[in-house]
Amino acid sequence: MFSVLIVDDEFHAVEGIKKAVDWDKAGVSSVYTAYNIQQAKEIFKEADGIDLLLCDIEMPLGSGLELLEWVKENQLETESIFLTCHEDFHYAKKAIQLGCLDYLLKPVPIPELENVMAKALKKRVEENNKSQTSHYGQFWLQHQPLLIERFWLDILNRTIPTHKEAISQAAEERNIPFSNDLRFVPVLIVVKRWHKPLSKRETKILEFALRNSAEELLLKHSVYGHLLNWGEGSLLAILSFQHYGEAEARMLKQSCASFIASCADYFYCDLNSYIGHLASAHELPAMTDKLLIVDRNNVAQDNLVIQLDEVPVIPEAHQNPEFAVWSTLLTEGQADKLIDEIARFLAAASLAKGLDAKRLHQFQQDLLQLLYSFLQAKGIQARQLFSDDQSMEMALYASRSVKDMNNWSRHIVGKATQYVRTVEQSDSVVDKAKAYIKQNLDQSLTREDIARHVFLNADYLDRIFKKVSGVSVTEYTVRERIAVAKQLLGKTGIPVHAVALQVGFTNFSHFARIFRKYTDRNPLEFRQEEQKH
């Protein structure tokens, strides 16, 4: 017989499920209820095991995810089903169904809930049977997952020295059953990108579901398997088999391919899976390093299973971009054609297996140099133009893959050529500069500050500003300051020194001198004459 815990901050929701479900038919002898995660934790501590957790995902005193993380950390062998009323997480429902959890929308139809409960409780039985029949599984499952995970991370990060004696000693000190006779196959899983923008909460849900899916699909064929979080967006599976030959390798590759296909359908992401060679524990750090290098250099392919012995050799000679032609396209304003040429070059290089991380990074630097030279000739400050958050984030990820490089190239070429067109329509740039001046008259504006705002060289801005307005940037700024000061002096009672500050003069004597130059009167005389009328 099984035990079930229902957790929901809505009293009626808990009572509705408790009364509606046929618990005897489900094989459930004990039903516990809680209205927040603190009460739920107390029940977990006091009860003699909870087989199934039915939990609302959003509660004011802590989310269902937080409770489930606590359950996992404390190695409580419990299956879980989330309940929520938010339909916008429908994709998460499908994603979580790939793992050991399900995700149901409120109000939950009782027949559907009973069916899902039956599957979850059946899985509990299967997991118990598996742990009893597997000798190593029986040893490993009786230890806290966090302790085991820390053990593997210390091996992979070389905190534990990479030789057999040190690993055996560390295992003994941590009371972890371990044998140097065991050999493992490491599998690196890397999410390359999500297909849609996600909030932090949505990302957390999908990553949690992705991990459960990986456990379900990749660990089932091994005698022992453990899954580690391996950096942002990456997982590392460590698998041990009773025998690892061609058949087992083929089955593992098929499982990785099924996992990738499922992720493409339900997780909205591109990812790759990299399978290493059979290795002893002390050999795993070097093997994992090789897998990371393969991933870093795999800039052209997504959603593939790649085995370490199948990695192609990048040829020494490769075709270089036609930068002279590309420079001409830039000069002639043919941005779309240039973007097409960039995509064509990257596609051809990928097809010829002529790209790795180093060459893609070099390509990025060469393209930046081309654009910087083009913009410098136009008097545009490229470092300012491309310092916005979006440009910097795209530049950071550009050399990770051809797809990311194409996205960044489209963005940066489009932004550069669009701004060149804006500059060539000098009225538009001068209007932007004037608006910036008026908005910041109370600041100590310099010509360089104003030029930086419109991404131009200060001398170049002065030339086009004078061409359109008839005066230099500095002269226009002073005239605007004096015009506003005249309005404040003539129409308000603000003290003269305060007026000076409001139009950007921190030195009153300097303000009075400049004011007299433009009005033939000092500020006080001007106020007295204006207020007589």
Residues 6+ apart with CB under 8 A from 429: 422, 423, 454, 456, 461, 464
Report the distance separating Cα 138 and Cα 135, nearest Å: 5
Cα angle 205, 211, 213; round to 5: 100
Phi-psi sector, 70: left (phi>0), alpha (psi -120 to 50), beta: alpha
Q: Tell me if the bond preceding 107 is cis, omega within 30° of 0.
A: yes
Could you give phi then psi for residue 441, rounded to 5 degrees?
-65, -25
Question: Tokens representing 103?
Answer: 């995700």
pLDDT at 135: 47
Give yes or no for a contact between 175 and 143, defined as CB atoms under 8 angstroms apart: yes
Q: Where are the domains of the chain?
A: 2-133, 135-310, 323-423, 426-448+459-530
Which runs of consecutive H residues, i.e. helices, occur in 444-503? 447-453, 458-469, 473-491, 496-502
Q: Which residues of the chain have pLDDT under 50?
A: 95, 98, 133, 135-137, 139-141, 143
Residues 6+ apart with CB under 8 A from 346: 355, 363, 402, 405, 406
Phi then psi for residue 106, to 5 deg, are -80, 150
- What pLDDT score does 72 carry? 82
Domain 2-133 shares a fold with domain 426-448+459-530 = no
Give residue 452's pLDDT. Answer: 84
Q: Are 10 and 36 in contact (CB under 8 A)?
A: no
**Residue 529 near residue 469, CB atoms below 8 Å:** no
Among residues 215, 191, 213, the alpha carbon closest in space to that of 203 is found at 191
What pLDDT is recorded for position 91? 52
Q: How many CA atoms lie within 13 A of 456 on its CB side?
A: 25
Query: Other C-beta atoms within 10 Å of 173: how many?
Result: 8
- The correct CATH number of 135-310 out of 3.40.50.720, 3.40.50.300, 1.10.3720.10, 3.30.70.270 is 3.30.70.270
The pLDDT assigned to 427 comes to 63
CATH number of 426-448+459-530: 1.10.10.60
Pairing outcome for strands 102-105 and 279-280: unpaired
CATH 3.40.50.2300 fits 2-133, yes or no: yes
Q: What is the pLDDT of residue 206?
A: 86
pLDDT score recorded for residue 264: 83
